[in-house]
Amino acid sequence: MSYAEDCSIYTPDHPSSKYANVYNAVFDVHFFAHFAGWFGKMLIMRDWWVAWICSAGFEFLELTFRYWLPNFYECWWDSLLLDLFGCNLLGIVIGAWFLKRFGVSRISWVKEPTKPHKTTQT
């Protein structure tokens, strides 16, 4: 299936739906794969910011490598709205809720700076 043949969101002449392209993208196996993948990655990473940065990075890699791998060609709204701000974000948010709900500790991937101790002078 080609994901970038017709990138129009509104398709009034389509016989099945006025939003056939969006409907086909949402009810595609890759839509669920993005969600489930980022839910699982959030359970592994356990850090909101690291997961979100990796999500944006992977979408950028799809844009970069689409010249070599034609199946990475997507419409702009599919890549941005459905993938990045749709499935990926939803998977990360539900993964974070799942971790919080079951009391799983958060992993801090960045060392926070230490505060200097106050010393008392005598």
With DSSP H G I counted as helix, E B as strand and the rest as coil, what are the percentages for the chain, rounded to 5? 60, 0, 40
Kindly state the tokens that stand for 18: 């006025």
Q: Residue 120 has what pLDDT?
A: 63
Residue 74: strand, helix, or coil: strand
Domain boundaries in the chain? 28-101
Q: pLDDT per residue over 70-96, tens digit each? A: 777 888 888 888 888 989 999 999 999
* Residue ranges, the chain, pLDDT below 50: none
Nearest 10 degrees: Cα torsion 7, 8, 9, 13? -130
Q: Residue 39 has what pLDDT?
A: 97
- H-assigned helices in the chain: 20-26, 29-45, 48-65, 76-77, 89-101
Predicted TM-score (pTM) of the model is 0.77
Q: Residue 121 has what pLDDT?
A: 62
Q: Residue 71 has what pLDDT?
A: 76
Q: Residue 1 has what pLDDT?
A: 61
**Pairwise CA distance, residues 64 & 61, whole Å:** 5
